[in-house]
Structure formats: structure tokens, C-alpha cells
Structure 1
Amino acid sequence: MLDWDDLRYFVALADHRSLSAAARTLKVDHATVARRVAALEEKSGLRLFDRRARRYLLTGQGLRIAEHARRMEAEVFALERGLIEAAGETPVEISVSAPPVLAASLIAPRLPAFYAEHAHIRLHIGTEARNVSLTRREADIAVRLSRPSDPQLVIRKAGQVCYRLYGSPAYLRSREPADYVFIAFDELLDDTPQQAWLKQMAAERAIVLRTNDLGLQCAAAAAGAGLAVLPDFAAAAAGLQAIGGETDEVRRDAYITYHEDLRGSTPIAATASFLAECVGTGSGRRPAE
């Protein structure tokens, strides 16, 4: 008899075509994915993948099994979403995915007030940089800085995150603009609007630090390592000074989104409203120059 867990690992590998990518999605190590898929092939007596270097390509038999397994997976996720909707006042855990800086700066400080009003809800907040799949229930609700395109999702605009160029007051006093150096994301986030804007401003000047941790960017800028493009609320907390005029900014719309199956869920509605309020209060905060 086939094991559903084996099928779940098989679908992840079929979707991502590499052990490492499937493992990141499932939050396990790649050896576990390989072992589960091998177990499924042994139990079924079928060769499901052609293994080519670091890529796994579905065989004809694998394509047929994957079609059935995805339908099974969709039904399981729909059942799990239905359990949330029916939870009522019994304790329920809601999984939230949010950008790290929004989770730490805007959501976490307001959690006590949320729990005081909704004692039966427990939040699990994940802060991965990637966009998780709500259809596959990698999270129940997501806070995103780009509008999702999946037609199965409920999408609510919650506000805007304003990015400006910031440095420490001491750094700005001690240097001429021609001598500024910069702190940036690494190449994985080169396609974000704020990174493209920073690279345009940096031109031929040096980027002395690359990191995808906005907390580290704030700390480095506060220490005088260089200038960084940061959200207003994060820069305010770090005591940084904005450079440029009112139009020298990048604004990104923030969205709260969840699967349409959860539209009637009271815990989901309460959590979504809370997240929208958190993001909304973080819009448009600019430290004094």
C-alpha cells in the first residue's frame, strides 16, 4: 500500500525537479526527499524519474502518477482548509508568511493586543524571503510586496512600504556625496524595485556589503558602513537619516492574501484584518532629516 507521505515528497520533487529545492519547500534535508521517493518507486515497482546530473525529470509513468498525486494533494489541502473554517472558538493555529522586516517591525509589537482579543488563535509566522504556495498550504495567509496572480486567492491591499536612501547622521556629515558607498541585497534580489533603484544611484561607486537581511543592512548603515535603501519604519527605529527630497523614494504595495476556500473562516478573517492593520500603520513613516 502506498504511503501518502511518500507521495507528498514525490510531488514536491516532480514540481521542483531538484532534491535541494524540494527539500527547502518541505523543510527537510535532501536525503529525506531522496529516500522517500526511492521508497515510493520500490513499493510501486515503477521508475518515476530519469536522474540527470542534479535534475530529476519525470518518466511517462511518473507523469501519470504525478497527475493523480496532485489531485490527492489538492483534496487534502482543501480538507485542511475546511477544518480551519469549522474551528469556531476552539484553539486553532494559523500559519502566516511575511517578509522578515515586516514581521519583526510591524507585526510582532502588536501581537499582545491581537491575542488579548483572539485568545483561541495561535499564529505561526514564517519569514522566508520566497513566496510560499498558499494553494499547497505552505501557509494559510501571506503578506506580500507584489500582487499575486493566482485566481484561487483572495487579495486585499493593505498599504504601501516606502523605501528611501538612508545613512547615519555621522556618516552623512563626514562625507561628500561623491564619496558615499552602499549596502545592497545580493544578486538573488536584483529584480526588486528598491535594489534596481539603489544600483542606479550607486553607479560607479562601491557596494561594500551585500546581504538579504534587512536588519543587518540597518545595523551596518547605523554603524557608518555606508548607505542603504530601507523601509521608512525600519530606518526610523535605527535612528537613520533620509537623503533626497520627497520624490526620492520607491513605494511597494503590500497585500494580504489567502486561499478562497478560507473566505468564510472567522479565524482567517480576524488574522487578515490584524495583518492589514499592522502593515497599514507602517506606511509613510519618514524620519526627520
Structure 2
Amino acid sequence: MMNWDDLRYFLALVDSTTLTGAARRLQVEHTTVARRIDALEKALQLRLFDRLVRGWQLTAEGHELLSQAREVEERWFSFERKALNMGKLEGVVRISAPPALSAFLLAPQLKTLSQALPDIELELFAESHHVSLGKREADIALRMVRPQTAGLVIKPLAAIQYGVYSSKAYLKNREEAKWEFAAYEKNSATPHHQWLENYINGRKLILRSNDQLVLSQFAASGMGVTVLPHYLRHSHRSLLQVEQEVDLVARKLWLVMHEDVRRSPRVRAVADSLIDLFAGKAMSDMLTWY
């Protein structure tokens, strides 16, 4: 079978006309050029060059194949350029994350990431369901539950801390025993949901919702008390944390990628930037109570 790499030697010898010139161009020994041309002729069962004293000259058969060899060369260079471009820090990287976290924690902090990677276009999709990384529905996912699927790269990113929140107007002159609550959907297995169910302890429940933004609006508008992640305290000016309940529970946030996708330089660069972002002071201040 023909070795496709032998075409490089064929074209180098055509352009240089001498073994020495072709060897210099390819940075090999002249004997290597001669050996590769002999191998190509043997594979094709054609004589491509006449070995003359004044140099190697193409035969008629060699002339017939020259244009096709040029086309193969150009296609190879095109393939190589595309591969190199794919290896550059440019292109689209899609991130999937929970809605409230996307809007109030991640999006406000992306300026730093965008400035560090100016040629990368970010797509941030706020999704409550878990997308399929295997089907390339996202390049990177931020998840509150550690995935169990094989073939994924999983890294703990941060600890999301929660507190009990209401409004100053609601809490003023109101006994704790008479607080009214908004809770999450029934039978939820998440730690802060279960904690809240126990914390209500027979007090009045007036709303359930599966949306943290709905619950934050409930508390901010003076309707009652609920549990929220600390980063949502900035979503409404009137939100006030009940101080005695600081750090009641924390949940891990995971960064997840598919094993194959993480080899992409642009995806790897965004993932590393997200890791650095969550390790920084600005993000730490958002995640904890103060």
C-alpha cells in the first residue's frame, strides 16, 4: 500500500529537481528522499522520475499524476489549518447551569472570563433539567448533584451556602412562632428543602414553589420567610437574613465535562477560568453570609 507521506517527498523532489535540494527542504538525508521515492514508485508500480546526471526529471506518468498530488497537498494543508484553528482559543463554548445560579451568581462574574478569553463566544443556558453532555447538548455543566454517569470529568467547584430570609418589614414586631413560610415542592430530597420542612415545625405554610426566584420574591415582598442560597440576597434590596440561622446547610456545586470534550483547548480554557473564578474572593463573598 502507498504511504501518503511519500507524496511530500514526490512534490519536494519535483520542486527541487535534485535529491540534495529536496533533502534540504524536508530536513532529511538525501538517501531518505531516494528511498521514499523508490517506495512510492514500487507501491504505484510506475516510474515517476528519470534519474539523470543533471537531476531527477518527471516521466510522462509523473506529469500525469502531478496535479492530483498538488490537490492532495492542498487538502492536507487545509486539514492542518482547520485542526490548528480548532486548537486555538476561539469558537463557541456552551455552559449549562441552574437558572437562579446562572442569573445571579455566574452571569455577573463573566466579565473577567470574557476579558481573559476574548476570542471565545460563551453560551450560558439557564436550565433546570440536566442536559446530556454525551450528546453535546452542552460543553460544560454546573450541577448541584454529583453525576453518576460514566465517561464524565467531575470537579467540585464551590460550596453553595443557604440561610433563612425574609424582609425587615415582615420581621419587625412579629414573633418567630407566628412566621409564615414559603417552601419547596413536596418530597424534595435536597438538604436545604428537608431542613426547611423541619424548621417550619407546624407553623403556617402559605406557598410552595420549585423556583428559587419565586421564593426570593415571596420573601422580599414581605409575605413571609423562606430558605435561599446566599447569592440571592442581592436579588432584592429588601431581603434580610435571619442572623441566628447563618450557614444552616451547604451543598456542593460540581463542574462537569465529557471526557472527550475536555481535550478541546477552548473548553479546557473556559473550565479552568470557571475554576479560578469560583476560587476568587468576589465569588466567595457571593456564596457566604456576611
Q: What band does the TM-score fall into relative to the shorter chain?
A: 0.5 to 0.7
SS in 2 for 1:233: helix
Shift of residue 160 of structure 1?
Answer: 0.3
- 1:171 corresponds to 2:174: no
| Match of residue 110 from structure 1 | 109
Measured in 1, the distance between the counterparts of 2:251 and 2:84 equals: 31
Shift of residue 162 of structure 1?
Answer: 0.2
Residues 254 and 165 (structure 1), Cα distance of their counterparts in 2 relative to 1, 3 Å cut: same
Shift of residue 286 of structure 1?
Answer: 0.9
Cα deviation, 1:118-147, whole Å, max 9, x if unaligned, reads 122112222121222212222111001121
Measured in 2, the distance between the counterparts of 1:128 and 1:140 equals: 14
Measured in 2, the distance between the counterparts of 1:84 and 1:200 equals: 56
Measured in 1, the distance between the counterparts of 2:137 and 2:164 equals: 34
- Structure 1 unaligned runs (5+)? 1-82
Cα deviation, 1:74-129, whole Å, max 9, x if unaligned, reads xxxxxxxxx99972337421121101121111211122222222122112222121
* Alignment map for 1:1-289 (pairs within 5 Å): 87-89=86-88, 91-187=90-186, 190-239=188-237, 240-243=239-242, 245=244, 249-280=248-279, 281-282=283-284, 284-287=287-290
Shift of residue 247 of structure 1?
Answer: 6.2
Measured in 2, the distance between the counterparts of 1:111 and 1:217 equals: 25
Measured in 2, the distance between the counterparts of 1:139 and 1:186 equals: 27
Measured in 2, the distance between the counterparts of 1:93 and 1:236 equals: 30
Shift of residue 151 of structure 1?
Answer: 2.7
Measured in 2, the distance between the counterparts of 1:248 and 1:271 equals: 30
Measured in 2, the distance between the counterparts of 1:209 and 1:85 equals: 55
| Matched length | 204
Measured in 1, the distance between the counterparts of 2:275 and 2:228 equals: 20
Task: Say if 2:161 and 2:247, in contact at 8 Å, map to a contact too.
Answer: no
Deviation above 3 Å: which 4+ runs of structure 1?
Answer: 83-86, 244-248, 277-280
Q: Whose Rg is larger?
A: 2
Task: Say if 2:141 and 2:256, in contact at 8 Å, map to a contact too.
Answer: yes
TM-score (norm 2): 0.64
Task: Say if 1:101 and 1:214, in contact at 8 Å, map to a contact too.
Answer: yes
Residues 155 and 222 (structure 1), Cα distance of their counterparts in 2 relative to 1, 3 Å cut: same
- Structure 2 unaligned runs (5+)? 1-81
Shift of residue 249 of structure 1?
Answer: 0.9
Measured in 2, the distance between the counterparts of 1:184 and 1:97 equals: 25
Shift of residue 234 of structure 1?
Answer: 0.9
Cα deviation, 1:248-270, whole Å, max 9, x if unaligned, reads 51100111110011232211112
Residues 246 and 171 (structure 1), Cα distance of their counterparts in 2 relative to 1, 3 Å cut: closer
Residues 224 and 154 (structure 1), Cα distance of their counterparts in 2 relative to 1, 3 Å cut: same
Measured in 2, the distance between the counterparts of 1:94 and 1:270 equals: 10
Shift of residue 161 of structure 1?
Answer: 0.2
Task: Say if 2:246 and 2:289, in contact at 8 Å, map to a contact too.
Answer: no
Task: Say if 2:182 and 2:206, in contact at 8 Å, map to a contact too.
Answer: yes
Computed over aligned residues only, the root mean square deviation of the Cα atoms, in angstroms, reads 2.4
Task: Say if 1:85 and 1:265, in contact at 8 Å, map to a contact too.
Answer: no
Letter of the structure 1 residue corresponding to residue 190 of structure 2: T
TM-score (norm 1): 0.64
Letter of the structure 1 residue corresponding to residue 270 of structure 2: T
Task: Say if 1:102 and 1:279, in contact at 8 Å, map to a contact too.
Answer: no
